[in-house]
Amino acid sequence: YYASPEVFAAEQERIFENMWFCAVRSSDLALAGKFKKVQVGRGPAARSRGRDGLLRAFLNVCRHRGAQLCSDADGAEGVVKRTLRCPYHS
């Protein structure tokens, strides 16, 4: 039952892709330029804090090439970026 692909797909659709949930705590992104790569349902997402102090969330995918903006190496402790850019467009 717990390993059923059908149950997993139903949970993704009905729970994780249809409701709000905590992906990152505000304190984890205390500094401007801090970011975290997270998985939301079946899609990659990223959270960041801008220079204006606001928290932002977006898909972790370049609209043009489909590459991830934040790679696995990104988001490590102490990493701060001025901009998030697709590796193809860098």
Give the pTM.
0.69
The domains located in the chain, with CATH, are 1-90 (2.102.10.10)
pLDDT in tens, 71-86: 766 566 656 677 777 8
pLDDT in tens, 30-61: 888 888 888 887 888 888 888 899 999 888 89
Beta strands in the chain (DSSP E): 35-40, 43-49, 55-59
* Separation of first and last alpha carbons in the chain: 45
| 78 residue type, one letter | G
35-40 vs 55-59, strand pairing mode:
unpaired
Instruction: For residue 59, give every residue at least 6 positions away whose Cβ sits within 8 Å of its Cβ, in sequence order, or none.
Output: 43, 44, 45, 46
| 66 residue type, one letter | G
